[in-house]
Amino acid sequence: MITTVATSPIAGQKPGTSGLRKKTPVFMGRHYLENFVQSLFDVVDCKGKTFVLGGDGRYFNDRAAQVILRMAAANGAARVIVGQGALLSTPAASHLIRLMKTDGGIIMSASHNPGGPNEDFGVKFNMPNGGPAPESVTEAIYARTTSITEYRVAEAQDVDLARLGRQELAGMQVDVVDPVADYATLMESLFDFSAIRAMFAGGFRMRMDSMCAITGPYAVEILEKRLGAAPGTVVNAVPLPDFGGLHPDPNPTWAKALMDELFGPDAPDFGAASDGDGDRNMVVGRGIYVSPSDSLAVLAANAHLAPGYKAGLKGIARSMPTSAAADRVAEALGLHHYETPTGWKFFGNLLDAGRATICGEESFGTGSDHVREKDGLWAILLWLNILAVRKESVAQILREHFHRYGRNYYSRHDFEAIPTDRADAMMAALRGKLSALKGMDYDGLVVSHADDFAYTDPVDGSVSTKQGVRVLFDGGSRAVFRLSGTGTEGATLRLYVERFVTGPDELEEEPQSALAPVIAAAHAIAGIAGFTGRNAPDVVT
């Protein structure tokens, strides 16, 4: 039986950089999830459609899945393909949408934000191409949330999501599938598994930290079972509703245990970590950390060593705040390079149009045209493939890269949980003085250009404005300021700083000290302390 429930708009259901993300109790509040899901179904029109559904296993994932299934049935969907246990990593969901040629998919995740009854939950919609909904769609969903008056839900028992195979729910087919199998097959088609297997057989040691989040089952199957890495290579391998109390954000701060291991006495050859929903990655060599922007550049420069990319790349895309290291590689390879706003949705058109093959963000996200999301394990496997072919250490590969292309020192400073009005005031003041900045000298750093980044999509011509303030200095240094679109508490200011060097004697500095002049200039320009009361960032990556 289908029930129509009267409801009314709930303020603030505006999707951010990556879907709608809120505190779990907010999501569990009366009509909250239902209003958003009905608005989504109203916009994408559910009738007769097939969707993929899965999430990163965080608290409320299982209950939300049952609600979404009952609402999909009530709205006339023909079929939903669900990962067993309502689990799917974000890249695996993207792949399944494409493989099964569905009409899109719903992913339940707040990505790298902590999970639990008092932490974060989220819902995002992906399009038939497997990629995150573009702004036009998320805006339409948001508009719908402001006028919603009712939602539809089927009255039925829970679907048994532990049982593989087909079931029926109020006239809709529900197919429960193995969340790992198709994804693992895709990885086997892209990478030289026998070369990587031989490397592990030869004694190569790795530590993969899945941070009690979704990549555990994927990493155990692929690294330990299919590639022969030693049992126990994958740590924190079981997804838990609260991620074991960990903050599943793979960076040197939150994956400190992995950093300690790789910088410790008996360090393995290679370390990696991924985030809550499996789309991010951090890569560490023995005694050396690889910044995400450098990782993107190294992967782009060496991708042809993997079977899936042996024909070369079509182009390279990076988000605006990501360092220009990948641009150097594109120029050397004679490829187009693209600079997009923050958020994976902006890469979709470039990938669909065959203009770019590899994409990346400074926020530990790298991916390619194999899916339409960033993909943590993909990046880790591409690194393994490169290591297996080049038979060099991570440190050797990185040093050789810097010598050949120059080095873009890079860091991101996050100032978290700032009162929203103060963060907004700071950005407004900064935007107000952009034209006055040109020519200003900050201790020898002279501003050559300052603007508020706007992007015109080269494929569909859509325009996105106010994507972050960029201040460029003579000589290739740069500071970027923007506010996070994924936080759930106050505002998070992200300051991105970069400095480019080519001299062989300039390549071995500690990044924070190499960047100190740019950091000082950025603070002076934006008046960060004055507006926010903060002198030092909470997280440095």
Q: Report the catalytic residues.
A: 111
Q: How far is the CB of 390 from ligand VG1 (least distance, A)?
A: 29
Q: How far is the CB of 322 from ligand VG1 (least distance, A)?
A: 8
Interaction between residue 249 and Co ion (CB under 5 A): no
Q: How far is the CB of 279 from ligand VG1 (least distance, A)?
A: 5
**From ligand VG1, Co ion, none, interface partner of 18 (C-beta below 5 to 8 A by class):** ligand VG1
Do 244 and 269 touch, CB atoms closer than 8 A?
no
Whole-angstrom Cα Rg for the chain: 23
Angstrom distances, CA of residue 91 to CA of 65, 162, 306, 365, 378: 18, 21, 19, 11, 9
Q: Which is nearer to Co ion, 145 or 340 (CB)?
A: 340
Q: Say which DSSP state 475 is in.
A: T
Do 52 and 44 touch, CB atoms closer than 8 A?
no
Q: Which of 43, 24, 47 is nearest to 135 (CA)?
A: 43
Q: How far is the CB of 19 from ligand VG1 (least distance, A)?
A: 8
Q: Is 284 helix (H, G, I), strand (E, B) or coil?
A: strand
**From ligand VG1, Co ion, none, interface partner of 233 (C-beta below 5 to 8 A by class):** none
Handedness of CA 162, 167, 168, 172 (dihedral sign): positive
Do 137 and 116 touch, CB atoms closer than 8 A?
no
Q: Which of 252, 253, 255, 249 is nearest to 235 (CA)?
A: 255
Q: Which of 201, 263, 258, 211 is nearest to 238 (CA)?
A: 211
Task: Report the residue number whose CB is nearest to Co ion.
Answer: 111
Contact set for Co ion, span 89-148 (CB under 5 A)? 111
Q: Which of 153, 176, 3 is nearest to 67 (CA)?
A: 153
Q: Which is nearer to Co ion, 209 or 277 (CB)?
A: 277
Interaction between residue 277 and Co ion (CB under 5 A): yes
The residue ranges that bind ligand VG1 (CB under 6 A) are 17-18, 111-112, 275, 279-280, 319, 342-344, 361, 363, 365, 484-486, 494
Q: Which of 211, 304, 195 is nearest to 250 (CA)?
A: 211
Q: Is 208 helix (H, G, I), strand (E, B) or coil?
A: strand
**From Co ion, ligand VG1, none, interface partner of 295 (C-beta below 5 to 8 A by class):** none
Pairwise CA distance, residues 512 & 167, whole Å = 55
Q: How far is the CB of 245 from ligand VG1 (least distance, A)?
A: 19
Q: Which is nearer to Co ion, 111 or 385 (CB)?
A: 111
Q: Which is nearer to ligand VG1, 193 or 496 (CB)?
A: 496
The sheet with strand 358-361 has its strands ordered as 336-340, 315-319, 358-361, 365-368
Q: Which is nearer to Co ion, 275 or 369 (CB)?
A: 275
Q: How far is the CB of 119 from Co ion (least distance, A)?
A: 15
**From Co ion, ligand VG1, none, interface partner of 344 (C-beta below 5 to 8 A by class):** ligand VG1
**From ligand VG1, Co ion, none, interface partner of 327 (C-beta below 5 to 8 A by class):** none
Residue type (1 letter), 271: G
**From ligand VG1, Co ion, none, interface partner of 494 (C-beta below 5 to 8 A by class):** ligand VG1
Task: Report the residue number whose CB is nearest to ligand VG1.
Answer: 111
Q: Which is nearer to ligand VG1, 342 or 477 (CB)?
A: 342
Cβ count within 10 A of residue 503: 8
Pairwise CA distance, residues 204 & 202, whole Å = 6
Pairwise CA distance, residues 121 & 108, whole Å = 7
Q: Which of 192, 221, 275, 414 binds Co ion (CB under 5 A)?
A: 275
Q: How far is the CB of 243 from Co ion (least distance, A)?
A: 12
Q: Is 71 helix (H, G, I), strand (E, B) or coil?
A: helix
Q: Which is nearer to ligand VG1, 279 or 294 (CB)?
A: 279
Contact set for Co ion, span 365-384 (CB under 5 A)? none
Q: How crowded is the C-beta side of 38, counted as CA atoms within 13 Å?
A: 25
Q: Which residues of the chain form contacts with Co ion (CB under 5 A)?
A: 111, 275, 277, 279-280
